[in-house]
Structure 1
Amino acid sequence: MLTSDFDYDLPPELIAKHPLPDRAASRMMVVERAGGTI
């Protein structure tokens, strides 16, 4: 595995700067290590 595998463009407007007022509305991405699925 190379660190370059993780290089990608991420627009600044997609980066969270503050938490959502309703924490229950937050989402977390989970990646299965065995299958690599999201």
Structure 2
Amino acid sequence: HRAHSRDAFAKGALDAAKFLAGKKPGLYTMANVIGVK
């Protein structure tokens, strides 16, 4: 696949950081971040 800009990657990284803030140490996936299993 191709991305036209890096904006989507940056948004994903920021969403992941917000999700992880305050979480206990552990293994999390992007599926956890976006709420799918």
TM-score over 0.5 for the alignment?
no
TM-score (norm 2): 0.23
Q: Which has the larger radius of gyration?
A: 1
TM-score normalised to structure 1 length: 0.23
Q: Which has the larger helix fraction? A: 2
Question: Looking at both structures, which has the greater relative contact order when contacts are Cα pairs under 8 Å and sequence separation is at least 6?
Answer: 2
